[in-house]
Structure 1
Amino acid sequence: MTTAEEFDVGDLSENESARPGSRFMRPVEAIAALLLVAVIGLLLTGVVSRYLVNLPIIWIEEAASICFIWLAMLGAAISLDRNEHLRLTLFVRMLPRRAEEFVETFAMVIVGTFLVALMRDSFEYAYEEWFITTAALHIPNTYRVAAIPVGMLAMLGLLVMHLFRSSRLADVAISVAAVVLISLGLWALSPQFIAMGATALPLFLVVIVGACLFAGVPIAFCFGLGTLSYLLFATHIPTFVMVGRMDEGMSGVILLSVPVFVLLGCVLDATGMGKAIVGFLSSLLGHVKAGLSHVLLVSLFIVSGISGSKVSDMAAVAPALFPEMKRRGNKPNEMVAQLATGAAMADTVPPSIVLIVLGSVAGISIAALFSAGFVVAIVLLLSLMALARWRARHENMEGVRRAPFGDVIRLLVFAAPALVLPFLIRAAVAEGAATATEVSTIAVVYSLVIGGLMYGGFGLRALYRMLVETAAMSGAILLILGTALSMAWAITQAGVGQTLADFAISLPGGAPTFLVLSIAIFLVLGCVLEGLPALVLMSPLMFPIAQQMGINEVHYAMVIVVAMNIGLMTPPIGIGFYLACRIGNVSPDSAIHAVWPYVAALMAGLIVIAAVPAISTGFL
């Protein structure tokens, strides 16, 4: 049976001395922290100038965009140093220890190969952008895109240090020789691949990407290497173009809200605002059967509207509730099942980072996605609460008393500043009062002030650690976004999108059949690739087909996001399930049987959401 350790999602507690690049990266971490502060400061200045003094500053967004791409690339390097890039290690961990060490080295060599192969193009891309002047600041665009080659150089330097300090020299030599031989073989067969046209695509974007994924190569580099090898050996398209696609994927203005909402999740966790919400809900519902299960699920619903991060949601809620739930006779495996599926349910609650990225990639209104996501999450919440109530019919309620009314009011007053935040975020974006990026900045400042005044706050060192952690997480997310979009572009250029559209249209049943097919695709991709890569890779292909079939884009977005999240929490591969087990300190062996009824409840909710478009579109 699998364990949580079979999925490498980063270890924030890893000893710095064990990271060969950590000393070298300290200045980089400081710069990244300053860049994040600069992004927030610029965005906040833009909000104040626009809404309070009615004097928009036109260069603010452009300056923030320059800081943002530098933050993304330096953050990707920090994430590599901390081993926080998302990767699948399920199969690597099955190998004997010696073989595992070799495969780990081979995976690092593959990442280095991608960086070396694209390095020249990244520098050339930065040079060519010198002749393009930015619209507001009137400076060469090279100042912005130079972040790409600099970030790649930093990552390559870290890899070399790590290889020579932690890997056997023989393993490095064999791995390099193997990569060279494979590259020569592909180069020799290049004329045949070019003659095959689009039929050569599966070899590069399925076989090579799949092999890298199984070898534990970080997902961003799996996508990048598959796309790069396809362009090199099966087309006449210059690889220079790939750097431009990566730049485009990481530079969307709306993506500026991603690191800010990630920081918001860190602030939520550090200040204890989530615990305040849990305390109030416990006083309100804790005296009824399944009361704490309901508190757990509703807390995830509310807290997710503040943090936008599933990991932050689970980490904020579980420690506050699990001890009392155990005392009442709740089984730990049942609690973890509720935690995992509750987090999956909550990923459509604004300000979900998934919805922000999807809106950017698919060109859908963020306000519309936020409004629909809130209602969709309520449908899933009710499904999970109904199942939890039925399964708790034999819960031991001995000694449990209703909380005094005075205590409920006191806890409500204490939790009110935290409770109001998710609804303010949703209302501000849905009503068009502010963009998601502007709201994210306001929410961070609000949380810092309220968290400091009412919930204990935190010191400057803790704030600095949160800034660096946010940079690392954002860099990992945005690098996946850049390479996945370049891969989706290559697929589109090969004509796969049209082929897929023709196939979908030829299926009997029309739109309902396509929805069923989409659910199946995103369930599987959610298990294997995690949320963002699956959405970024498939959205450019699937949304045009949905539009051809007359499916509302917001309705379709809700269906695939929910399907993807269910896959994310579905064992034996879904990484979210193992994260929940780790946070709940429960063996996946014992939790795997308990999670299936809750997955079924989510599936029932998904079927209702897919069958009734008005759930997604009725409040737009």
Structure 2
Amino acid sequence: MVIAILLISLFIMIIIGVPVAFALAGSALFAIIYLGQVPELVVLHRMVGGMDSFPLLSIPFFVLAGALMNSAGITSRIFDFANSLVGWMRGGLGHVNISASIMFAGMSGAAVADAGGLGAIEVKAMRAKGYDAGFSVGVTAASSTIGPIIPPSLPMIIYGVMAGASIGQLFAAGFIPGLLMAVALMIMVAYYAKKRNYPKDASFSIPRVATTFKSAFLSLMTPVIIIGGILFGIFTATEAAIAATVYSLILGSLVYRTLSFKKLVKVSMETIETTSIILLIIAGAAIFSWVLTTQHVTEDFTRWMLTITDNKTYILLMMTFILFAVGCFMETIAAITILTPVLLPIAISLGIDPVHFGVVMVLNLMIGLLTPPVGMVLYVLSRVTKVPFEECTKATIPFVIPLIIVLLLVTFIPSLSMWLPTLIYR
């Protein structure tokens, strides 16, 4: 009965438009009141406890670093460099779109930041070159999901906190799957380019590559500082986020001189707003997960799954389906904080490494950002490009196919994600 109250009240509140954070905390409060065994004050204690984690301090700094990059015009330099590298290919700006997302992924760690910042530049450039709006938005939406897979990654940080897994290993584990996503999307772009006879947008020129690389070099050093510092043990993920923020601030204000005080204030306020939303969701999910745990839902669910089958392949497919379905309806951070304590014990009982499962979970939920009804990336791109949401959805669906193929490869070939962390850390 308690679980019914918990889930039904959560579903109703989400349907009527209650913010996810309050829906999670509210449904947990209803369940606690029904139980009558613990004081309601436990809700507040558990919410605060859910946010009391040192690695979570990295979130506002990674958000701020990505926002500074966007505001200081650094993303346009990255786009120009990517254009000089792959713009000569047929359907060049589609490939540029994906390549630029790989580079920007090492700075923001968030799909929505990629879509809202770099995505606006990419779609505008593609439409100016004659690409249809649907294709432009579709490839931009799909490529933005690379950001949270290639380190640094905000979802990976949150999963690491929930699972007690090494964030450094999670970052390393996401690198190869992120590149596989890029390759799969570029194959899809090549198919569309041939089918629709898209032109080559630029001729390859070594001097142009050198010029744009020189212009973007300091910007491209951001992911080197973040990833290199973490992998070589120079600093933790939180310290890396602070270093990235300071570096971005120096680039924008002192080197490029494109970051004014007015822009800095605006970016800071946006960061406070974004961080507050994330932490509220984590707090709400913390009390929700606590109720699930105290009512032994995680243990019961694990036993139930294993009574259906003990075949590792079938259970992985079932968990993949659950994650995909949840990703279609729930915000990524909330989904991670709720599902990690439920699904991780099952994964561990099957001998699946928590780091590998983290990559599978995050990749699965990233695809959910491209599917209605929640599809945050689609809403962001619809807003910044003025393309109707329905058209964004229709254009993006074909690009979900190569991402699902990569998801299945990463799920059933663990070495794709585990080779690098094993090489570096184990």
TM-score band w.r.t. shorter chain: over 0.9
The 8 Å contact of residues 91 and 198 in structure 2, kept in 1 or not, is answered as no
Residues 1:233 and 2:34 aligned together: yes
1:64-83 equivalent positions in 2, closer than 5 A: none
Residues 1:510 and 2:311 aligned together: yes
For 2:391 and 2:245, how far apart are their aligned partners in 1?
38
Structure 2 match to 1:580: 381
Structure 1 match to 2:404: 603
The 8 Å contact of residues 568 and 574 in structure 1, kept in 2 or not, is answered as yes
Q: 1:492 is matched with which residue: 273, 278, 293?
A: 293
For 1:401 and 1:213, how far apart are their aligned partners in 2?
47
1:349 is paired with a residue of what secondary structure?
coil
Structure 1 match to 2:254: 453
Q: Number of aligned residue pairs: give it.
A: 420
For 1:518 and 1:270, how far apart are their aligned partners in 2?
39
* C-alpha spacing 1:456/1:403, structure 2 compared with 1 (3 Å): farther
Structure 2 match to 1:591: 392
Structure 2 match to 1:432: 233
Query: Aligned letter for 1:603?
Result: I
1:256 is paired with a residue of what secondary structure?
helix
Structure 2 match to 1:410: 211
Structure 2 match to 1:535: 336
The 8 Å contact of residues 333 and 594 in structure 1, kept in 2 or not, is answered as yes
For 1:396 and 1:309, how far apart are their aligned partners in 2?
30
- Measured after TM superposition, the shift of residue 572 of structure 1 is 4.1
The 8 Å contact of residues 269 and 315 in structure 1, kept in 2 or not, is answered as no
Structure 1 match to 2:360: 559
When structure 1 is superposed on structure 2, of 402-411 and 600-609 the one drifting more is 402-411
Q: 2:2 is matched with which residue: 197, 200, 207?
A: 200
The 8 Å contact of residues 224 and 483 in structure 1, kept in 2 or not, is answered as yes
The 8 Å contact of residues 2 and 34 in structure 2, kept in 1 or not, is answered as no
- Measured after TM superposition, the shift of residue 568 of structure 1 is 1.7
For 1:591 and 1:468, how far apart are their aligned partners in 2?
29
TM-score, structure 1 length as denominator? 0.66
The 8 Å contact of residues 226 and 243 in structure 2, kept in 1 or not, is answered as no
The 8 Å contact of residues 83 and 96 in structure 2, kept in 1 or not, is answered as yes
Residues 1:354 and 2:155 aligned together: yes
For 1:451 and 1:245, how far apart are their aligned partners in 2?
39
- Measured after TM superposition, the shift of residue 401 of structure 1 is 4.1
The 8 Å contact of residues 373 and 558 in structure 1, kept in 2 or not, is answered as yes
TM-score, structure 2 length as denominator? 0.95
For 1:401 and 1:578, how far apart are their aligned partners in 2?
31
The 8 Å contact of residues 305 and 350 in structure 1, kept in 2 or not, is answered as yes
Q: Deviations for 1:86-135, whole angstroms, at most 9, x for unmatched residues?
A: xxxxxxxxxxxxxxxxxxxxxxxxxxxxxxxxxxxxxxxxxxxxxxxxxx
User: Could you tell me the percent identity over the aligned residues?
Assistant: 28
The 8 Å contact of residues 370 and 393 in structure 2, kept in 1 or not, is answered as no
Q: 1:270 is matched with which residue: 47, 71, 74?
A: 71
The 8 Å contact of residues 329 and 396 in structure 1, kept in 2 or not, is answered as no
Query: Aligned letter for 1:314?
Result: A
User: Which structure 1 residue ranges, 5 or more long, are not aligned?
Assistant: 1-198
- Measured after TM superposition, the shift of residue 403 of structure 1 is 4.8
Residues 1:214 and 2:15 aligned together: yes
Query: Aligned letter for 1:479?
Result: L
1:619 is paired with a residue of what secondary structure?
helix
* C-alpha spacing 1:573/1:320, structure 2 compared with 1 (3 Å): closer
For 1:254 and 1:564, how far apart are their aligned partners in 2?
21
- Measured after TM superposition, the shift of residue 432 of structure 1 is 2.0
* C-alpha spacing 1:305/1:502, structure 2 compared with 1 (3 Å): same
Query: Aligned letter for 2:197?
Result: E
For 1:534 and 1:222, how far apart are their aligned partners in 2?
13
Q: Deviations for 1:299-350, whole angstroms, at most 9, x for unmatched residues?
A: 1121121012222212332333334422443211111111111112321111
* C-alpha spacing 1:479/1:573, structure 2 compared with 1 (3 Å): closer
The 8 Å contact of residues 511 and 551 in structure 1, kept in 2 or not, is answered as no
For 1:396 and 1:568, how far apart are their aligned partners in 2?
27
- Measured after TM superposition, the shift of residue 370 of structure 1 is 0.3
Q: Over alpha carbons, which structure has the higher Rg?
A: 1
For 2:121 and 2:197, how far apart are their aligned partners in 1?
19
2:151 is paired with a residue of what secondary structure?
coil
The 8 Å contact of residues 348 and 377 in structure 1, kept in 2 or not, is answered as yes
The 8 Å contact of residues 227 and 487 in structure 1, kept in 2 or not, is answered as yes
Structure 1 match to 2:424: none
1:392 is paired with a residue of what secondary structure?
helix
1:447-486 equivalent positions in 2, closer than 5 A: 447-486=248-287
Q: Which is bigger in relative contact order (C-alpha 8 A, separation at least 6)?
A: 2
The 8 Å contact of residues 293 and 338 in structure 1, kept in 2 or not, is answered as yes
Residues 1:387 and 2:188 aligned together: yes
For 1:332 and 1:526, how far apart are their aligned partners in 2?
25
Deviation >6 Å, runs of 4+: none
Residues 1:441 and 2:242 aligned together: yes
1:330 is paired with a residue of what secondary structure?
coil
The 8 Å contact of residues 334 and 591 in structure 1, kept in 2 or not, is answered as no
- Measured after TM superposition, the shift of residue 368 of structure 1 is 0.4
Residues 1:244 and 2:45 aligned together: yes
Q: 2:142 is matched with which residue: 341, 357, 360?
A: 341
The 8 Å contact of residues 111 and 146 in structure 2, kept in 1 or not, is answered as no
- Measured after TM superposition, the shift of residue 281 of structure 1 is 1.0
For 2:225 and 2:247, how far apart are their aligned partners in 1?
11
For 1:508 and 1:229, how far apart are their aligned partners in 2?
34
For 2:198 and 2:280, how far apart are their aligned partners in 1?
49
Structure 2 match to 1:300: 101
- Measured after TM superposition, the shift of residue 208 of structure 1 is 0.9
Q: 2:175 is matched with which residue: 374, 381, 385?
A: 374
When structure 1 is superposed on structure 2, of 504-513 and 531-540 the one drifting more is 504-513
* C-alpha spacing 1:222/1:324, structure 2 compared with 1 (3 Å): closer
- Measured after TM superposition, the shift of residue 450 of structure 1 is 1.6
* C-alpha spacing 1:284/1:500, structure 2 compared with 1 (3 Å): same
Query: Aligned letter for 1:610?
Result: T
Query: Aligned letter for 1:200?
Result: V
- Measured after TM superposition, the shift of residue 413 of structure 1 is 0.5
For 2:95 and 2:310, how far apart are their aligned partners in 1?
39
Residues 1:363 and 2:164 aligned together: yes
After superposition, the CA RMSD in angstroms is: 1.6
* C-alpha spacing 1:443/1:342, structure 2 compared with 1 (3 Å): same
